[in-house]
């Protein structure tokens, strides 16, 4: 087994793809034979970033076992968010910034998890530790990942390490951090031409919480009403997803990237737990959450606690 696939989570965001590209490049520079791949096609924000720095989107794969490949995971560790046959292949390493859950291996591995805003911030540190130089295009996609995950440092997950890393990478990539960052974030908010099913799948992850299977999707916008005016259509699509995939609860988080607020749309039988988690009252299955932008820090932990 000589091939090694490097990939992020399903429904990949800019960090899932950017960190895979960067970490694969680093590993190849260190003598390994790896390929950055993806578990889905890039969204518009990620495609903007790839095109801005002359990078091709990684090919999409559905099975690692079929390619007789070992794997390296970035930007995730939970098996339900990974490739379909993750339990049947050898995991060589994980680089991540999320909670650790539903993860086990038969053999020792390299595991690095740090509480920063973006996996690519960790990967930058690994480049430095191994004294490997970063090409302009790799710096650009890593910068894009940091901007995306931290919402240009407005997210509560953002740290000083992320800001410092972004500034350093912007110099290598030869771009203005704030100008480029805002352009990239806005590129990911073109939603009017997308179906409800597509919106729900742009950035969605499943989380086992107690005995429940909870699906949490997030959509970024510059106008909450543009999304919420489609409530009937979205609720129908959420109901279909729940039936098809046995989700007990579906939470859609619609985030205004300019105001740093979100609105929830909730489907399922445990709405009272959502109300308890956020100390709010759902009206017509909706609730406005001021200052909430991070699924990882401001949504998942709160829901996990009420379901435990």
pTM: 0.85
Domain positions in the chain: 4-189, 196-307
Inter-CA distances, 305 with 103, 159, 299, Å: 19, 24, 10
| pLDDT reported for residue 269 | 86
Has 13 been labeled as part of a binding site?
A: yes
Helix, strand, coil percent values for the chain (each to nearest 5): 45, 20, 35
- pLDDT exceeds cutoff 80 at 15: yes
Report which secondary-structure segment, H or E, holds 267: strand 261-268
Q: What is the mean pLDDT of the chain?
A: 96
Mean pLDDT of 224-238: 96
Has 98 been labeled as part of a binding site?
A: no
The model's pLDDT over 180-222, given as tens digits with 9 standing for 90+, comes to 999 999 998 988 889 999 999 989 999 999 999 999 999 999 9
Residue 16 near residue 75, CB atoms below 8 Å: yes
Residue with tokens 């759902």: 282
Has 9 been labeled as part of a binding site?
A: yes
- Percent of the chain exceeding pLDDT 70 equals 99
Has 162 been labeled as part of a binding site?
A: no
Inter-CA distances, 32 with 6, 27, 70, 115, Å: 11, 6, 12, 27
Has 75 been labeled as part of a binding site?
A: yes
The model's pLDDT over 253-306, given as tens digits with 9 standing for 90+, comes to 999 998 999 999 999 989 999 999 999 999 999 999 999 999 999 999 999 999
HSE of 204, CA atoms in CB hemisphere, 13 A: 21
The model's pLDDT over 123-179, given as tens digits with 9 standing for 90+, comes to 999 999 999 999 999 999 999 999 999 999 999 999 999 999 999 999 999 999 999
| Overall fold of domain 196-307 | Diaminopimelate Epimerase; Chain A, domain 1 (3.10.310)
| pLDDT reported for residue 190 | 86
Tokens read off for 291: 């200052």
Domain 4-189, CATH 3.90.1640.10 — does that match? Answer: yes
What's the CA gap between 112 and 192, in Å, rounded? 39
């Amino acid at each position: 087994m000589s091939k090694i696939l490097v990939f992020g989570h399903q429904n990949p965001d800019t960090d899932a793809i950017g960190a895979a590209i960067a970490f694969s490049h680093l590993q190849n520079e260190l003598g390994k034979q790896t390929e950055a791949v993806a578990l889905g096609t890039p969204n518009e924000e990620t495609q903007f970033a790839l095109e801005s720095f002359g990078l091709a989107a990684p090919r999409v794969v559905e099975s690692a076992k079929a390619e007789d490949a070992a794997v390296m995971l970035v930007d995730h560790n939970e098996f339900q968010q990974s490739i379909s046959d993750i339990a049947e292949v050898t995991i060589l390493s994980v680089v991540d910034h999320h909670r650790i859950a539903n993860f086990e291996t038969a053999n020792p591995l390299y595991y690095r998890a740090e509480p920063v805003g973006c996996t690519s911030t960790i990967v930058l540190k690994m480049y430095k530790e191994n004294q490997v130089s970063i090409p302009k295009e790799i710096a650009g996609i890593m910068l894009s990942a940091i901007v995306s995950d931290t919402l240009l440092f407005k997210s509560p997950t953002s740290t000083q390490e992320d800001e410092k890393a972004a500034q350093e990478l912007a110099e290598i990539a030869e771009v203005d951090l704030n100008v480029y960052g805002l352009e990239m974030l806005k590129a990911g908010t073109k939603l009017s031409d997308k179906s409800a099913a597509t919106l729900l799948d742009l950035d969605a992850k499943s989380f086992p919480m107690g005995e429940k299977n909870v699906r949490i999707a997030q959509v970024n916008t510059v106008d909450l009403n543009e999304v919420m005016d489609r409530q009937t259509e979205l609720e129908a699509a959420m109901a279909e997803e729940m039936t098809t995939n046995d989700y007990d609860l579906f939470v859609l988080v619609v985030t205004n990237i300019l105001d740093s607020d979100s609105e929830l749309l909730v489907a399922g039988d445990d709405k009272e737990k959502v109300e308890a988690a956020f100390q709010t009252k759902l009206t017509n299955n909706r609730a406005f959450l001021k200052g909430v932008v991070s699924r990882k820090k401001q949504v998942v932990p709160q829901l996990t606690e009420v379901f435990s």
